[in-house]
Amino acid sequence: MRQIVELQQQLVPDLLDVMRKRYSILHTVMLAESIGRRTLAQALSMTERVLRAETDFLKSQGLLEIDAGGMRISESGKLLLEQLEPFYKTMSGLSVLEETIRSHYGLKQVVIAPGDSEESQQSKRELGRLGCQMLSKYLRPNDVVAVTGGTTIAQVANQLTSGTPLRTNWFVPARGGLGESLDYQANTIASTMAKRTGAQYRLLHVPDHLGEEAFASIMQEPNIQEIVEVIRSARIVIHGIGDAVVMARRRRLDQKVIEAMQTEGALAESFGFYFDRNGAVVHKMQTVGLRLEEIVKTEVVIGVAGGKSKGEAIAAIMRFGHNDILVTDEAAALEIAAIIEQEQAEEAAARTQQNERR
């Protein structure tokens, strides 16, 4: 496919420009669900006059529905986008980026959303949509799915759908509450995913961070033991990735603990654990829910995170080596690719030095 795109670029470059423009229009309308022409023009940095001509054409092709309430993508438009997605990724270079990251970290699949989800709500919605796509792809009947909290996983939950009710599936929180906004806690996200798909769910009503005595006491409760057993039986884990210091402060950890973590090189946080740039765990929280040993044994682990500032953190979690699928955005992927290139250059230099010593 890449060769075809390169030939088209040489022979009819204007055709690819038109295709990019119309693909972006359809894609933006799909993510917005319903949008006005002026708002769409601003989102795409396009004049209303040019946009009107393009949307009128897309409407004539049956790809857009336009009325006084705004624009919506038709079922034909959704199908076309789905069919065009591999071609668009090849055309924009995202498919090469996906394969670079996938092969370097030995992942099953890497999926990249265009843009920077920290800067664009549209990119964040696309990140959530792709997270839904990956979860649906690997979900089987009777599966238990454990989910973490955070704004990105909440975006996945808010877009998750199912054509038929998933009555035999369970959604559960991977751990207790974080103490942040209720909308972004794992309990809320698990229940949202279940309600949107007709699945079942269980909640874990305990704090995320516990002292030794409180942890030992809570784990004696039969109800807690029961839900923890369900959580630890999860076949799929879907999780976010955060900056270690940012997440430690959100959890209100003692400043001395944060400073000690920084000294140990803590760079990334996920599952309630803190990792250095080599993917080694440097700090564990006493938390009810998934333990590191369960994550290692989990059959499908899906990481969903994006934003330029998270590139290093995502790379660190990938080095941990127990993710299967990564869903990220273009800004983070470019940062990860730069890290990979630097690592490969350092490895090549080290090999050269070894050869010279011999």
**pLDDT tens digits for range 279-299:** 999 988 777 888 888 888 899
Structural domain includes residue 351:
no
Span 130-150, average pLDDT: 95
Domain boundary among 62, 85, 108: 85
Domain boundary among 85, 103, 123: 85
Q: What is the mean pLDDT of the chain?
A: 88
* pTM, 2 dp: 0.84
- Distance, in Å, from the CA atom of 326 to the CA atom of 111, rounded to the nearest integer, reads 6
Least confident span in 79-83, 174-178, 202-206: 174-178
Domain total for the chain?
2
Q: Is the pLDDT of residue 26 over 60?
A: yes
Domain boundary among 34, 69, 85: 85
Determine the pLDDT at residue 68.
85
Structural domain includes residue 55:
yes
Domain interval for residue 129:
93-344
Structural domain includes residue 219:
yes
Beta strands in the chain (DSSP E): 64-67, 70-73, 109-113, 144-147, 170-173, 200-201, 236-239, 242-243, 268-270, 273-275, 281-284, 300-304, 325-329
- Asked if residue 142 and residue 246 are part of one domain, the reply reads yes
Determine the pLDDT at residue 289.
81
- The H or E element containing residue 336 is helix 330-357
Structural domain includes residue 333:
yes
* CATH code where residue 167 lies: 3.40.50.1360
- Asked if residue 299 and residue 210 are part of one domain, the reply reads yes
Structural domain includes residue 144:
yes
